[in-house]
Structure 1
Amino acid sequence: MISRGSQWKRWEPHIHAPGTVLNNQFKGTDAWEEYLTALEALTPKLEALAVTDYYVTDTYEEVLRRKQSGRLKDVHLIFPNVELRLDVAAKSGFVNIHLLVSPEDTDHIDQLRRILTRLQFQAYGDRFDCTASELIRLGKKADINITDDLVALRCGATQFKVNFNQLKEVYHQSEWAKKNILIAVAGASGDGTSGLREAADKTIRQEIEAFSHIIFTSNASQREFWLGQRSVNVKMLRERYNGCKPCLHGSDSHHIDTVGQPVAERYSWIKGALEFDALRQACIDPEGRAFVGAEPPPSAMPSQVISSATINNASWAKTPEISLNKGLVAIIGARGSGKTALADMIAAGCDSIPQYAWNGSENTSPSFLARARSHIGDASITLNWEGGNESSRLLNGKDANGHLSFPRARYLSQQFVEELCSSNGVSDGLVEEIERVILEAHPLDERNGAVNFSEFRGHRTSRFQQSRSRETEAISGLSERIAIEIEKDRLTTTFSAQITQKKTLIQGYNADLAKLVVKGSETQVKRHAALSEAAQTVRGKIQAYTNQRRTFISLQDEVASTRATKAPELLRQAQERHGLSGLSIQQWDEFLLIYKGNVDNSLADYVKWTDNQIAELNGLPATLGDTNAPTIADDVELSTLNLSTIITEMKRLEALFSADKIVRDQYSALTNRLGQENATLKALDEKLLDAQGASARKGQMQTERDEAYKRVFEAIINEQSVLSELYAPLMERLSASSGTLSKLGFYVRRVVDVNQWGAYAEEHLLDRRKTGPFNGKGSLTARAEEMLRSAWEHGNSEEIKAAIKNFVTTYLSDILAHAPYEKQQSEYRGWLKSFALWLYGTDHITIRYEILYDETDIRKLSPGTRGIVLLLLYLALDEADDRPLIIDQPEENLDPKSVNDELVPLFIAAKAKRQVIMVTHNANLVINTDADQIIIAEVGPHQAGGLPPITYRAGGLENATIRTAVRDILEGGETAFQERARRLRVRLER
C-alpha cells in the first residue's frame, strides 16, 4: 500500500437529493438522472458526498444504489447527513443540527436508526419516536385530513422537534454514536446558532456549539473565530466550546440548478484520504485540514515538489515506486529498517548529497549510500517533479555533483549536521548558512546583485571603510607634520642661541678685517664691503633660482611617473572599489587623472627661464685689467650688476689694500668667510621665524587631526549602522518569536581591545624604566579603560573626539616623559610620529557582528545546540528557500518537551510552503504536526553479500492501519496520541 496520504479533496457536506423530505424542488421523471449527471459534471471534481435529509436516510440509500449501478465514479466516499430540528427557536425557525455518520460500519444504517429511535417528541398526549413511521403518525395527528403517507411524513417532519438535552444524552450514552457520528450545526442566523442573539439564549447557544464538532459556515470571520484567531483564543475555545472547530460549507441544494454550486464558489476542502476518518482528523486539526474557498490552500510550488521516486535496477527495493505527498512526509520504521536509505536516495536524486559524504568510508560513514556502495551496483533513482520535470542519478555517486549540478533539495543529514556543527571549532559553515538566510531575508532588488552575504556586506559598507581608510591616512600625514612642527618649536631656543653666536662671530671677523686695512685704503675697503653685500644678495638670488630649477626638474619626473604608473593605478583602484558602476572601458577612461594644462611645455619653459635668470645673474666671466682703473663707476646701482662683474671689482680693490700678498689673501679669505657667515645668519633668521610660527601651525594641525579622528569614528559608526540594517528583517521576526527561537539574536557592536592598544605602547613606544606615572605595567591601559573605553564602544563621534582630547590634555606630558629618546636625539622625531600614529590609531577597534544563542556566541556552543540552531534556521527563518527540505532525525539533541513546543509548530508552518521529508523516531513530530504522509520502512532478513529486502508502505493519519503502525513503532506513540486527544478533547480511534 503506497498512498500519497492526506491530500486536499473537495467534499460536499450538505446537499439534498430528489425526494428529500422537506422543500423538495427536484421535479420531473428524470430528476435522479439530472441530479447524478450534475454531480458528475462538477468542477472542481467532487469526491466525497454527504447526502442530507430530514430525520431519515432514504435518499442516502438511493444514492448508494445508484453508485453501485455505476454512477458517481469519481465520488469515492458517500455518507449520510441526517438533519434534525431542535426545540430551540432561531431567528427564522428553529436551530438545525446535523448528524454526519460514518459509512465504515456495514450496519451503520440500522445502527443510526436505532439511535434516532431514542429521540422522542411529546405531542397530542402521546410520544412519537424519530422514525419514518412515527413521523407519518405525527403528521396525520397534526392534520387529520392527510391520508397519503409521504405527505404525512413531510408534515410530521415539520412538527417533530428534538430536545437538545435528550440528543446529548442519547449521543453520550452510545459508544457506537460517539465512534461513528460527528455533530454539525449551522453558524448562520436563519436556522443556525447565530440566530440565538438574545441574552437569554447565550448559554444554550454556547451549549449547542460546544456539543458540535463542525460548524457549517462559509463566513471568513466565523472561521477565524473557530480557529482562535479573533477575540477568543485557542485556550478559551477549549474551555468554553471543547476546542477549535472546522468550518465547512455545502450547497444545501434542494434544486437541480444549485446542485454542488454553493454561492461564490465557497467549496469545502478536506485534507485526507477519501474516508470518513479524514473528517475526524479535520476536527482534530481544523486549520490544517479544513478549508472553504474556490481552491484549496496554496502549498509548495509544483516545480519544487517531488511527486514520486522510482528506484531502478535494485532487486533489494521491493517497493520500487513511491508516491510522495507535497506537504510533510514522515519516514518511520524500526532501527535499520531503511528509513535513512530512502532519505539518502531522494537526496541523491536531488544532487543534494555533498561530495564529502560520497567519499566517506563504508565502515564509518553514516550515509546509507556510502555504507552500501559495494552492493548498490548500477542502481539509480528517478524523481518525478510535479511541475513535469524528471531527474535521475546513480546511487553509487558516480554522476553526482557535476559542474552544472545544483542541489534541488536541502538535505540535513546526520553527517551534514555533524560536519556543520562539529565540536572542533570549525563552525564557519554554520555561520555562512545563517548569513545566507540573512541575505535572502532582503528583497532581491535590495541586494545590488550580491550573490553571497560577504559581497552584500561589502556593497553596503565599502563606502565607510574607504572613508575610514582615507581619514586614517590623513591622520598619519598630519601626525608626521605635527612631529615636524613640534621639533621646530623645540628648536626656537637653539636657533636664537645660534643667531647670537653667529652675530658675535661676524662681529669678530669684521674687527679682524678692519685690522688688515692699510692706512689710506679706507675708501676702497668701504667700497669692497658694499660690493661684498651686493655679491651676497646676488648669490642668494642665484641659489633661489637654482632651487626652483631643481624643483621643476623633479616635477617633470613626477609628471612622467604619474602618467605612466600612478594615474592608471588610481583608475584601477577606483574601478575595483566601484565595480558595480556598470561603466564601460570607454566611460572609465574619462576618470583617468590627467593634467589640466600643457604641463610639459610649461615645465620646460620654467627650466629655461630659471637657466636664463641664473645665467643673467652670474654674468659672463670678466678679465681683471688695470688695478688702478675701476671696472664699475661710483654712481652705478650695485643691485643691477651681475655676480661676475662684482667679483672682478672686488678682486681689483683687494689688490690695492696692501702690497703684501699675504695680507691681501687674508683679507680675501676673511671677506669670503664673512659672506658665508652672513648667509648662514640669514638662513638662521628664516628658520627662527619659521620655528616661531610652528606652535600656531601645530595647533591648527592638531585641530585638523582631531576632526579627522572624529570622521574616522563617523565612518565606523555608519558602518555599524549599516550592518545593523542588514539584520533588521530577521531581527523583526525573531523579536516576535517565542521559545528557543527567541534565544537567537544578531548583534552589531564596536569591539575595543584596550589591552592591545595599551600593551603596544608599553612594549614598543614607552620606556617604563623611567620614573613617572606610566612606569608600571598596565598603568596606561588602566587609564584608557577609565577615560576612553566607554566612548570608543558606545559614544558618538563628537563624544569620542572629546574623550581623546581630554585624555591627551590630561596625560600627554606624562606619557612623553617616558619617551625612549631625549628630545635632542635625532630619533626623537621618528618616535614622535610613531607615538602619534598609535595615539590616534583605530586598529584596536573593530565592528563585529555576532550571532548569539541564549547570549552565547554561536561559535562557542556545543555541537548539539548548534544543531538546534541549524534546524531552527531552516524551519523558521529560511523563507526564501522553497526547495524540498529533507531532514534525518530532527529530534536529535532536543528533549521531548522542546520537540513538542518548538519543532511541532515550526514543521506545521514549514509544510504549508514547502515539501518536507523527515526521518524520525519521535511520535510527537508525526502526530502533533499532523504529518500528511507516513511512509513505513520495513526490512527483511539480511542477505549474505548483499542488501536485505526493503519494503515501504504509506498512508495518512486518517487511516487506522497507519495510526496503529505509528503507535507501535515510534517512541512515545501511544502517549502522543493520548496526549493529543486529551489536549484537543477529541476521540481518536484506531
Structure 2
Amino acid sequence: MTVGEEESIGPGSLWLRWDPHVHAPGTIFNDQFKGDWEAYLAAIEGATPAIRALGITDYYGLELYKEVRARKEQGRLKDCDLIFPNIELRFSVGTARSWINAHLLVCPDDPDHIEQLTRFLQRLTFKTTTDTFACNPSELIRLGRSLNSELTDDRSALRHGSEQFKVSFDQLREEYKGMSWAQENILIAVAGAKGDGTSGLQDGADQALRQQIEHFAHIMFASSPAQREFWLGRKTSREHICETYGGLKPCMHGSDGHSVERTGAPDGDRYTWIKGAATFDGLKQACIDPEGRAYVGTEAPPAAAPSETIHRVTLTNAPWAPNSVIDLNPGLVAIIGARGSGKTALADMIAAGCDAHADQLPMQSFLVRASEYLDDATVKLDWGNGVVTERGLDNAAAAWDGYARARYLTQQFVESLCSPEGMTDGLLSEVERVVFDAHSPTEREGAVDFADLRDLKAARFREARRREEQKLEELSDRINIELEKQSQIVAIRKQVDEKKLKITQLTEDRGKLVRKGSEDRIKRLEALTEAANEVRARVRRLTNREQKLLLVQDEVSDFRTHQAPENLRDAQERHKDAGIAGEAWDPFLTQYSGNVDGIINDNLSSTRKNRDGWRGIDIAITDPATPLIADDADLTRLPLGRLDAEIRRLGDIINVDKETRERFNSLSTKITTETELLSVLQDKLKDYEGAEERAKGLPTERQSSYRRIFEAVFSEQQVLNDLYAPIRARMDETGGTLGKLAFTVTRRADMAEWAKRGEDLLDLRRQGPFRGEGKLLEAANDELRGVWESGTAEEVTEALKDFRQKYQKSFFEHALAQRSDAAAFRGWLKLFARWLYGTDHIEVRYSVDYDGVDIRKLSPGTRGIVLLLLYLALDNADERPLIIDQPEENLDPKSIYDELVGLFLKAKAKRQVIIVTHNANLVINTDADQVIVASAGPHPGDGLPEIAYASGGLEDAPIRKMVCDILEGGEHAFRERARRLRVRLER
C-alpha cells in the first residue's frame, strides 16, 4: 500500500504465486541438495512464474528458515517479498503408509517471532515409556540417542529423534488455544492426500479424529480440483462445510522439493496462487475468502479481458491531485472516503477517460461543478492490452458522442431508471437490452434490439391471428345472414302465396273483359304469357350472370394493377434481408395461371349473346289479324320480343272498344309484373330454404377459427418464452439472488373491457341473470377468465361454446333490439356475435418479477437491486469496466448484504468493477481487490482543494484501519467475517 506518494499508487490485491512448502539444503529428511545453496537459490530466483512468497519447511526446526532469511538479507531472492517458517510435524496417528503430517505456517512480522515460535514448540512433548521430551533441537537429539545409543554425532541423533517425535493432536490443539501469540501468528495446515494426509483416516474412531483435525486446520495442502471443490462447498454445500469443518478452507500446494531439481517445481505445475500482497496478512485473507483468494493451477484464475481493463489512470495538469498516477486492479475496486473527499470525482474522471457519459453530465458531477478549474487538465487511461486513451477534463459538460469504453452508473442515472416516472421506459428497456444481448448474433436474425427481435419472431403468429380474426368476423356475419334467412322463410312463403293469389285474381279480372267467342284466344294469350314469363326469367338470370362476370373482371384487373404489386412490395420490405435482389423478385409477383381473360371474355360473350338471343327485338304489329307465331310453335323456345308482340296483338283483337282494350292491357301488364315478382320471391324462397343446410357447418368452422386464434396466441407466447430462455438458463445456472428474478410470459384477458362492451349490447333493466351492471363481468370471471388466461386452445373453444349455450337465451332476452323488429334485431345479432367471439381483449404480456412482485410495483431501492442484477449478473455480453456511484443508495444494510454482495463477487471475476461506496459490507464482504481511500485538504479561497488517494488491499492493515475509521460498521463487518475462522485481523 502507498499513502500520499507524489507519483503512483498500487493496484491492491493481485494474484501472486506462492510456494508454501519448500525444503532447503540441510533438511532433516531425504536431503538431496548436496549442500548446493547457490543452485538452490538460483532455482527459486529463476522460477517461472516468479515465486513471491516462500514457506521454508523443515521438521520441528527453524535453522533452514534462518539461513534463507540471511541469504535474503545479503541480496538474494529479491523477488520474494515474503519468507516465512513452515514447521512440519507428525501427529501421533497414522495410516498403513505413513504418519499424518501437519504444518505450522508462521507469520514473520513479529521481530520476536523466532523466540515466540520456539517457546510454542517447546510446549509440545513426546513421551516414551521412560521419559518425556520437548520439541526443541537438544531434546530431539536426546530422544534420538535414548532410542539408539550408537548415534554419536548430533546430526544423526537429531534426524532419528525427529523421525520418532510425534505430536498428540489434542495437545497441539490445547497449546494453540492456550497461547494468544500462536493464535495470532500461526495458521495450521494439514495434508489432504491419502499418503501423509487426513484422507487415510477413514474407519471408526479414525474418521472422527480426521474430522476434528480438519475442523482445527485453517488450510488444506491439496492440489486436486476435486479437493478444492469439496473444501469450497461445491460438492456438498457451503453450509455443510462450515458446520462440519468450521468454515471453507483454502487449498494450497508446494513443491515439497528435497533436491534442486524439485525446488519450485511442484507436480503437474500445480502452483499455488494467492490474491493479495505477498504478506502473511494476505494469507490470512485467503483463509477468510478461500474461493476468491486461493487457487491451485498452472495459471492464475482469469480476470477481465485485458482490452476491457483499465490498467492505469494518469492525471496531467492537475496540481490539486498529488497522486497523478493510479494503478487499478482488474477486479473489484472500491473507492471510499468521507463526504466531499473526492471519491466520486475519481469515478467521474475515469468515466470521462472512457467516454462513458452517454449524454450530458448531470449538474452534480465533479467535472461540471469544477469545470472552471480544469483548464488543460487531462485524464489518460492505459488499458491492459497496451492501448492508451486520453481526454480533456475541461469540456466534459458537453455531450459526448464517442464510443463508451465503460458503463457508468451515476447516482442520477440509477435514480432516473428506478423512479416511478422513469421506470417503465428506462428500467424495462434495460431489461430488454440484456435479454437481447443474451442471444448470439445468429439467433438475433438481423434484429437490432429486443423489440425488433420480438416482432420478427412473433410477426408470423400475429399475422395468423389477424387473418383468423377477420375470418371469424366474416363467419359470424355469414351465420347471422343464414339465421336471418331461416327466420324469414314463413314470411316469404306467405308473400309467394299472396302473389299467386293476386295473379289468379288479376287473371280472373282480365277474363271478365273478354268478349264471347274469344275464349280460345284467351287460352292462347295465357300460354303466351306463361312462356314470356319463363323466357323473361332466363333473360334476367343471364343479365345477372353478366354483372357477376363483370365483377370478376374488375377484381382481376384490380388484383393485377394494385393488390399483387403491393403484396410484392410488402414481401420485399418484410424480407429485405433474405438476399433476394432486383429482377430476382420478378417471379414472386402473384399472377393468375391460365388464360383468365379469355375465360372471362368468352363467358361474357356467350352470356350476352344468349341473353340478347332470348331477349330478341321489338316487332311492330302491321296487321292485327295476322298471327306472329304459328299455332304449333314451341313458345318456350321463342325470343321475348316476339312473344310480347304476339301478346299485344291478341290483346288488341280480344277487345274492340278502346276503353276495354286499355283496361285489358293494364291488367295484362300487372299480371306480367306480379308474375315477375313472384319469380323473384320463389328464387329467394328457394335460397332461404337452403340456408339451414348451408349453415350447418358454419358454427363448427367458426369454432375452429376461434381455436386457431388462440393457437396463434399460444405460439406468440412461446416466442417470448424462447426469447427469455437464454437468460433463464443463466439465472438457473447462477442461482443465489438471481433466483428471485423471474421473466414471466402470460396471457392477460381484460375482462372488464370485454364485459363492458357486452353490457353495451344489453338492456340491464330487464329481469334475468344480467340485470344490473357487473353481472356479466361476474359470470365471465367465473367461467371464462381462467381458461382465457391459462387454458389450451381446445379448452378455450369449449368454454366459450358452453358459455354461449348456457346464456344465449338470456342474452336474447336482454337484447336492446326486439325480435319483432327484424332489421334492428339483425343488426344487434351481428354486433353480438362480433363481441362474443372477439379476441382483442386477449393479449400476451411479459413481466419482470423480483421475489414474486412485478418490478412496476417495487420500491425505488428494490428496483435498484434489479438494475444491479442486470449489470452484475446477467449482462454477460458487456465486458467493459462497470463504474457505479454508491449502489447502496436507498437500501438497508441487510438488503445490501443479502442481495448485492454475491452479485459483486461474481461480477468481479469476469469484468472490472469500480464502485464508489460508503457501505462497509460492499467493501469487506465483497473482499474488494483494491480499496482507494480519497481525502481532501482544506478548501482554498480560489481553486480546488488538494485531493489525495491512498490504495491497497484488505490484507493491508493500514487500509483495514481506514475502512474501519471511514465506513460505518466497518470493524463489525471485519469481525463477523473473520469470526468463524479464528483469525485475528489487526487494525
TM over 0.5: yes
Which stretch of structure 1 is more off in the superposition, 246-255 or 109-118? 109-118
2:374 to 372, 376, 401: 376
Following the alignment from structure 1 to structure 2, what is the Cα–Cα distance between the partners of residues 242 and 671?
A: 119
Q: Is the 8 A contact 1:341 1:369 kept in 2?
A: yes
Partner of 2:349: 345
Residue type of the partner of 1:264?
G
Following the alignment from structure 1 to structure 2, what is the Cα–Cα distance between the partners of residues 145 and 775?
A: 117
Q: Is the 8 A contact 2:865 2:899 kept in 1?
A: no
1:335 aligns with 2:339: yes
Displacement of 1:501: 1.5
Partner of 2:529: 532
* Residues matched between the structures, number: 979
Q: Is the 8 A contact 2:334 2:928 kept in 1?
A: yes
1:253 to 252, 257, 267: 257
Residue type of the partner of 1:227?
L
Partner of 2:910: 913
Displacement of 1:965: 0.9
**For residues 543-567 of structure 1, what are the alpha-carbon distances to aligned partners after superposition, in whole Å with 9 as ceiling and x for unaligned?**
2222222222232222221112112
1:766 to 762, 765, 769: 762
Residue type of the partner of 2:34?
K
Following the alignment from structure 2 to structure 1, what is the Cα–Cα distance between the partners of residues 240 and 813?
A: 76
Which stretch of structure 1 is more off in the superposition, 775-784 or 513-522? 775-784
Following the alignment from structure 1 to structure 2, what is the Cα–Cα distance between the partners of residues 476 and 630?
A: 59
1:938 aligns with 2:923: no
**For residues 323-361 of structure 1, what are the alpha-carbon distances to aligned partners after superposition, in whole Å with 9 as ceiling and x for unaligned?**
1111111111111111111122222222322315x2x33
Partner of 2:226: 221
SS of the aligned residue for 1:788 comes to: helix
Matches within 5 A, 1:846-885: 846-885=843-882
SS of the aligned residue for 1:24 comes to: coil
Which stretch of structure 1 is more off in the superposition, 841-850 or 822-831? 822-831
1:191 aligns with 2:196: yes
SS of the aligned residue for 2:933 comes to: strand
Partner of 1:96: 101
Following the alignment from structure 2 to structure 1, what is the Cα–Cα distance between the partners of residues 805 and 903?
A: 58
Displacement of 1:679: 1.3
Partner of 1:776: 772
Q: 1:895 to 1:91 in 2, by over 3 A?
A: farther
Following the alignment from structure 1 to structure 2, what is the Cα–Cα distance between the partners of residues 85 and 869?
A: 53
Which stretch of structure 1 is more off in the superposition, 136-145 or 669-678? 136-145
1:4 aligns with 2:11: yes
1:324 to 316, 328, 332: 328
Matches within 5 A, 1:340-419: 340-356=344-360, 358=361, 360-361=362-363, 365=364, 367-396=365-394, 398=396, 402-403=400-401, 405-419=402-416
Residue type of the partner of 2:261?
D
Q: 1:424 to 1:621 in 2, by over 3 A?
A: closer
Partner of 2:5: none
Partner of 1:55: 60
Following the alignment from structure 1 to structure 2, what is the Cα–Cα distance between the partners of residues 77 and 916?
A: 29
Instruction: Give identity over the alignment, percent.
Output: 53
Following the alignment from structure 1 to structure 2, what is the Cα–Cα distance between the partners of residues 205 and 790?
A: 59
Matches within 5 A, 1:403-482: 403=401, 405-424=402-421, 426-482=423-479
1:645 aligns with 2:652: no
2:159 to 154, 170, 189: 154
Residue type of the partner of 2:307?
S
Residue type of the partner of 2:304?
A
SS of the aligned residue for 2:326 comes to: strand
Segments of 5+ residues of structure 2 without an aligned counterpart are: 3-8
Following the alignment from structure 2 to structure 1, what is the Cα–Cα distance between the partners of residues 161 and 892?
A: 60
Matches within 5 A, 1:170-209: 170-209=175-214
Residue type of the partner of 2:51?
L
Residue type of the partner of 1:339?
K
Following the alignment from structure 1 to structure 2, what is the Cα–Cα distance between the partners of residues 962 and 487?
A: 89
Partner of 1:495: 492
1:599 aligns with 2:596: yes
Q: Is the 8 A contact 2:416 2:422 kept in 1?
A: no
Following the alignment from structure 2 to structure 1, what is the Cα–Cα distance between the partners of residues 845 and 297?
A: 49
Following the alignment from structure 1 to structure 2, what is the Cα–Cα distance between the partners of residues 242 and 871?
A: 32
SS of the aligned residue for 1:667 comes to: helix
SS of the aligned residue for 1:98 comes to: strand
Which stretch of structure 1 is more off in the superposition, 746-755 or 505-514? 746-755
SS of the aligned residue for 2:32 comes to: coil
Following the alignment from structure 1 to structure 2, what is the Cα–Cα distance between the partners of residues 203 and 774?
A: 76
Following the alignment from structure 1 to structure 2, what is the Cα–Cα distance between the partners of residues 91 and 5?
A: 46
Residue type of the partner of 2:931?
I
Q: Is the 8 A contact 2:368 2:396 kept in 1?
A: no
1:928 aligns with 2:925: yes
SS of the aligned residue for 1:423 comes to: coil
Partner of 2:283: 279
Which stretch of structure 1 is more off in the superposition, 606-615 or 500-509? 606-615
**For residues 684-740 of structure 1, what are the alpha-carbon distances to aligned partners after superposition, in whole Å with 9 as ceiling and x for unaligned?**
111112112223333432222222122222222333343334444545666788886
Following the alignment from structure 1 to structure 2, what is the Cα–Cα distance between the partners of residues 484 and 217?
A: 85
Partner of 1:811: 807
Displacement of 1:578: 5.3
Displacement of 1:950: 0.8
Q: Is the 8 A contact 2:358 2:404 kept in 1?
A: no
Following the alignment from structure 2 to structure 1, what is the Cα–Cα distance between the partners of residues 710 and 129?
A: 96
Partner of 1:894: 891
1:790 aligns with 2:786: yes
1:746 to 740, 743, 758: 743
Displacement of 1:427: 2.7
Residue type of the partner of 2:883?
I
Displacement of 1:975: 1.1
Residue type of the partner of 1:78?
I
Following the alignment from structure 2 to structure 1, what is the Cα–Cα distance between the partners of residues 695 and 262?
A: 95
Following the alignment from structure 1 to structure 2, what is the Cα–Cα distance between the partners of residues 678 and 237?
A: 103
Partner of 1:560: 557
Displacement of 1:418: 0.7
Following the alignment from structure 1 to structure 2, what is the Cα–Cα distance between the partners of residues 754 and 193?
A: 68
Displacement of 1:400: 6.7
Displacement of 1:982: 1.7
Q: 1:397 to 1:419 in 2, by over 3 A?
A: farther
Which stretch of structure 1 is more off in the superposition, 873-882 or 708-717? 873-882
Which stretch of structure 1 is more off in the superposition, 492-501 or 372-381? 372-381
SS of the aligned residue for 1:952 comes to: strand
Q: 1:611 to 1:263 in 2, by over 3 A?
A: same
Displacement of 1:272: 0.8
1:710 to 691, 707, 710: 707
Residue type of the partner of 1:651?
R
RMSD: 2.7
SS of the aligned residue for 1:590 comes to: helix
1:22 to 18, 22, 29: 29
**For residues 33-80 of structure 1, what are the alpha-carbon distances to aligned partners after superposition, in whole Å with 9 as ceiling and x for unaligned?**
222222222222222222222233333333333333433332222222
Following the alignment from structure 1 to structure 2, what is the Cα–Cα distance between the partners of residues 108 and 268?
A: 25
Displacement of 1:971: 0.6
Q: 1:254 to 1:855 in 2, by over 3 A?
A: closer
1:590 aligns with 2:577: no
SS of the aligned residue for 2:588 comes to: coil
Following the alignment from structure 1 to structure 2, what is the Cα–Cα distance between the partners of residues 173 and 761?
A: 85
Displacement of 1:141: 4.7
Residue type of the partner of 2:541?
A
Following the alignment from structure 1 to structure 2, what is the Cα–Cα distance between the partners of residues 20 and 265?
A: 23
**For residues 561-605 of structure 1, what are the alpha-carbon distances to aligned partners after superposition, in whole Å with 9 as ceiling and x for unaligned?**
111211222334445555664544545443322111232233233
Q: Is the 8 A contact 1:91 1:189 kept in 2?
A: no
Following the alignment from structure 2 to structure 1, what is the Cα–Cα distance between the partners of residues 199 and 371?
A: 65
Q: Is the 8 A contact 1:393 1:400 kept in 2?
A: no
Partner of 1:722: 719
Following the alignment from structure 2 to structure 1, what is the Cα–Cα distance between the partners of residues 14 and 248?
A: 21
2:80 to 68, 75, 95: 75
